[in-house]
Structure 1
Amino acid sequence: MHAFSCVEDYRLAARRRLTKLAFDYLEGGAEDGDALRRNRAAFGQWGFAPRVMIDTSQTSSRTTFWGRDAAAPMVVGPTGLNGLFWPRADELLARAAADAGLPFVLSTASTSLLEDVRAAVPEGELWLQLYVQQDRRIAESMMRRAREAGFRTLMLTVDTPVHGKRDHDTRNGFKLPLRFTPRLVADCVRHPHWSWQMLVGGAPQLRNIAKSVGERADLARHAAMLSRQMDLSMSWDDLAWVRRHWPGEVLVKGILTVEDARRAQTHGADGIIVSNHGGRQLGSTLAPVEALPMIVDALSAGGPAMSVFLDGGVRRGADVAKAVALGAKGVLLGRAPLYGVASRGAPGVAGVLALLLGELRTTMQLLGCTNVTDLTPQRLVPLPSLRA
């Protein structure tokens, strides 16, 4: 099998293998894609300031999350409807993460049962991403099942009260369950491997929602529930409700402002994820890496200690190094592992994670950093100031 040199190679391979409908769902952002492009471009606003003549022969990217070891400040983040890209994709992603020594976050909108993901990685570090529907008994059931399956950390996503407008899905006629229009059938003929897998494995189902609702897997009903019946009444006071049902760490995902970061801190969250939902919600926002420094500064000024994570636009180990240098405890990987699983299945995910781990270690050695605590703001230079 041809060796890929970077995440972009996996992206191009995924594009070749998937139908347009499936690839656009993986790749696309909200509206004109401004936020999506900004997420990636914002990392280019920072350049490295390396130190030399430092012994980096024992460089290590290892870190800890709440005292638990991880091979690097990276987490395989939550992504939904992954069965659209490869059969049992959630289990493959979790297995690859465990093999690489990284946590895996399972989405509420997963196409594998959380119990099946735990069975696939009995020793893995698993976290749960939670959406809260109007009927909160569904979320309570999800939390109970995850506790019983040994999931350790809860990631409450708060930036999706409604789905953002995604033009590509409208153009492609993307609805759940999939409707085989003449255009989609023609696209399937051009992508026989994907089509055969979907035919043999069946269309992806939102199995976790189905089990917590207590019904059979009915994709149309549960997709509607996920997209149109989110609990719009959620407020900061509801973190207390989450705490009553979750004994482990609670992270709030979807923070982009200092004000909301401080609210998460005062309401007792263990951490936050600075995120614009991969550019898939609001069509025009700050990139998370742009918002990160001011949020880290504000939280460090006082109050309970919090872990700050980042997601959005991470495609290189160098991006991970920049995020950590700007104050992130770690980054969430979203599309990058999906490119791997969508192109080659399990070997593809393993290949993407190995690439990112290798690139991070190389970046650290070239910077003169022997461990992640050496990744400080002094290792970065804002490039616009050089042009000025």
Structure 2
Amino acid sequence: MIALVQRQIPRPAEILELAKFRKPELNGRRRRLDAALTIHDLRAVAKRRTPRAVFDYTDGAAEGELSLARARQAFEDVEFHPSILRSVPEVDTTTTVFGGPSALPFGIAPTGFTRLMQTEGETAGAGAAAAAGIPFTLSTLGTTSIEGVKAANPHGRNWFQLYVMRDRETSYGLVERAAEAGFDTLFFTVDTPVAGARLRDKRNGFSIPPQLTASTVLSTLPRPWWWWDFLTTPKLEFASLTSTGGTVGELLDAAMDPSIGFDDLAVIRDMWPGRLVVKGVQTVEDCQKLAGLGVDGVVLSNHGGRQLDRAPVPFHLLPKVVREVGKDMEVAIDTGIMHGADIVASVALGARFTLVGRAYLYGLMAGGREGVDRAVAILAEQITRTMKLLQVSCLEELTPAHVTQLTRTTPLLG
């Protein structure tokens, strides 16, 4: 016998109870940012709102961009192993790194030309870091001064990323200024003896100041807000360097010195009163050598894939480096991080900390300071959710048993 469904005429009150309309958000920026649920969503907004040459500078990498693609693929190939029946109503995302606290296991990485991407630049990044309780790192090629970053993040943790340049006195002066401003950690960067071949930039004619072509004008015309910001704010220039003209490669090659060596590291170690971290290390052997040289930590990094293409994937290096030197110094990691789960996986495999560059810049281009806040919030939400699903209550409970690194590229043994 087939039972008949009882039907009735819908009552307006019941319809209204089932379908409640969301209050419209009239602020266009806030509406765009609220709709962004992932860093990839912020990237899509940033691409729509930023001229092609500027977006490509941020988004692109060296040559065939294989290093960046492999780094991101490595995180996507993570397999998690959750526990069960453990009570985790709340999780603790706080950590200590390089002698101080952080509310989350990631900080903002150093980036150059940042005010070109969106006029608030490093000030937005430092302010967002202050609000979130995480460190902010200023690049030698930053477009906000050391003192300006300190003013934007007066009570939080500021770090400085140092390039040792041909003019050593310039580099030494930056070290002294960062120390005087209360920056607590210095990143001695070792992966940029010369500029990588960033082909998108060459094809777009990307330079400081921007060089206009018919193509760049056509790309910029539908984005008048970018030009308004660019033309009505202070002149774009490097805050730490006097030379500002030329392509990225020309600027780097003019400033950087491919002859830097361990003697330069020793000089900076003697000068710098805070924690000294070497950024851009890409082999286990170099990590072992640095462990005996008074270095407080290393950042496994291939510069976001922007220097040597086909460079090692930092996330693949991480477990062995931690096994070899993890007791002697702290190990951090960057390159390819686009999701909070990438950060959780890194911590599980022994990373003390992670750094995000493009993820923060996509937020900056999508919505200035509010966009950076949104990027940080997205990653924080993803970290918390991933930890709860793994059923760990704090970062210290994450172990290599929670993660399997699946791999698509295995070395041939000869």
- TM-score, normalised to structure 1, is 0.93
Aligned to 2:106: 74
Contact 1:110 1:208 in 2 (8 A): yes
SS state at 1:233 partner: coil
Between the aligned partners of 2:155 and 2:378, the Cα distance in structure 1 is: 23
Structure 2 residue matching 1:190: 3-state secondary structure: coil
Label 1:249 to 1:136 Cα distance change in 2 as closer, same or farther (>3 A): same
In the TM superposition, residue 179 of structure 1 has moved relative to its aligned partner by 1.3
* Aligned-partner Cα distance in 2 for 1:13–1:315: 15
Q: How does 1:112-123 map to 2 (within 5 A)?
A: 112-123=144-155
Q: In 2, Cα distance between the equivalents of 1:378 and 1:96? A: 33
The 2-side partners of 1:143 and 1:221 are apart by: 25
Corresponding residue of 2:20: none
Closer, same or farther in 2 for the Cα pair 1:74/1:9, shift >3 Å? same
Residue 229 of structure 1 is matched in structure 2 by 255
Contact 2:300 2:314 in 1 (8 A): yes
Root mean square deviation, CA, Å = 1.6
Large movers: runs of 4+ above 4 Å: 221-225
The residue number in structure 1 matching 2:295 is 269
Structure 1 residue 158, shift from structure 2 partner: 0.4
Q: Which residue of 1 aligns with 2:245?
A: 220
Distance 1:106 1:234 in 2: 21
**1:183–1:35 distance in 2 versus 1, CA, 3 Å:** same
Unaligned runs of 5+ in 2: 1-29, 409-414
Q: How many residues align?
A: 375
| CA-to-aligned-CA distance 1:319-375 (integer Å, 9 cap, x gap) | 000001111001001100100011100100000101111110111011011100111
Q: How far apart are residue 238 of structure 1 and its match?
A: 2.3
> In 1, Cα distance between the equivalents of 2:386 and 2:299?
24
Check conservation: 2:195, 2:252, Cα contact below 8 A.
Answer: no
Find the aligned partners of 1:188 and 1:222 in 2 and give their Cα distance. Answer: 19
Distance 1:242 1:105 in 2: 18
2:317 matches 1:291: yes
**AA at the equivalent of 1:124:** G
Give a deviation string over 1:219-267, Cα, whole Å, max 9, x none.
Answer: 1179755432312221123221011210100000011111111111121
Partner of 1:188: 220
Contact 2:207 2:247 in 1 (8 A): no
Equivalent residue number for residue 97 of structure 1: 129
Could you tell me how far apart the structure 2 residues matched to 1:7 and 1:20 are? 19
The match for 1:357 among 375, 380, 399 is 380
Say whether residues 1:371 and 2:394 are aligned partners.
yes
Asked whether the equivalents of residues 105 and 352 of structure 2 are also in contact (C-alpha less than 8 Å), the reply is yes
Give, in angstroms, the shift of residue 283 of structure 1.
Answer: 1.3
Give me the whole-angstrom Cα distance separating, in 1, the residues matched to 2:162 and 2:381: 31
Q: Aligned residue for 1:86?
A: 118
> Could you tell me whether the CA contact under 8 Å between 1:276 and 1:287 is conserved in 2?
yes
10-19 or 279-288: bigger deviation: 279-288
Query: Do 1:209 and 1:222's aligned partners in 2 also have CA atoms closer than 8 Å?
Result: no
Match 2:285 to one of 235, 259, 262: 259
The alignment-based identity, stated in percent, is: 39
1:149-160 alignment runs, 5 A limit: 149-160=181-192
